[in-house]
Structure 1
Amino acid sequence: MKKPRFETLQAKKLIGKRLTMSFANNKTGELWGSFMPLRKIIGQAIGNDLYSLQVYEPDFFTHFNPHRSFEKWAAIEVANFDTIPEGMETFTLVGGLYAVFLHKGSNTDTSTFQYIFSTWLPNSEYILDNRPHFELLGAKYKNASSDSEEEIWIPVRLKG
Structure 2
Amino acid sequence: MEARIETLTEKKLLGRHIDMSFIENKTFELWSGFMPKKKEIKNIISDNLYSLEVFSTGHFDNFDPSKIFQKWAAVEVSDYNDIAVGMETLVVPDGLYAVFVHYGPASNGHTTYHSIFTEWLPNSKYTVDDRPHFAVMDHKYKKDDPDSEEEIWIPIKNRN
Quote how far apart the aligned CAs of 1:44 are: 0.7
Q: State how far apart, in whole Å, the 2-side matches of 1:33 and 1:7 are.
A: 31
Quote how far apart the aligned CAs of 1:62 are: 1.5
Quote how far apart the aligned CAs of 1:131 are: 0.4
Correspondence for 1:157: 157
Q: State how far apart, in whole Å, the 1-side matches of 2:147 and 2:5 are.
A: 24
Mapping for residues 27-66 of structure 1, pairs under 5 Å: 27-66=26-65
Q: State how far apart, in whole Å, the 2-side matches of 1:80 and 1:143 are.
A: 28
Taking structure 1 as the reference length, the TM-score comes to 0.97
Q: State how far apart, in whole Å, the 2-side matches of 1:11 and 1:122 are.
A: 27
The secondary structure found in structure 1 opposite 2:107 is coil
Deviations 1:69-107 (A, max 9, x none): 000100000000011111111111111000000000111
Correspondence for 1:15: 14
Q: State how far apart, in whole Å, the 1-side matches of 2:72 and 2:126 are.
A: 25
Q: State how far apart, in whole Å, the 2-side matches of 1:58 and 1:148 are.
A: 32
Quote how far apart the aligned CAs of 1:51 are: 0.5
Correspondence for 2:137: 137
The secondary structure found in structure 1 opposite 2:76 is strand
Correspondence for 2:118: 118
Deviations 1:17-69 (A, max 9, x none): 00000000000000000001111110110010010000001211111111110
Quote how far apart the aligned CAs of 1:130 are: 0.7
The number of equivalent residue pairs is 159
Letter in 2 for 1:115: S
The secondary structure found in structure 2 opposite 1:152 is strand
Deviations 1:87-140 (A, max 9, x none): 111111111000000000111111110000001101110001110000001110
Residue ranges of structure 1 left out of the alignment (5+ in a row): none
2:85 is the counterpart of 1:86: yes
Q: State how far apart, in whole Å, the 1-side matches of 2:10 and 2:149 are.
A: 24
Runs of 4 or more above 2 Å deviation: none
Q: Percent identity?
A: 48
Letter in 2 for 1:101: F
Correspondence for 2:147: 147
Worse overlay, 16-25 or 53-62: 53-62
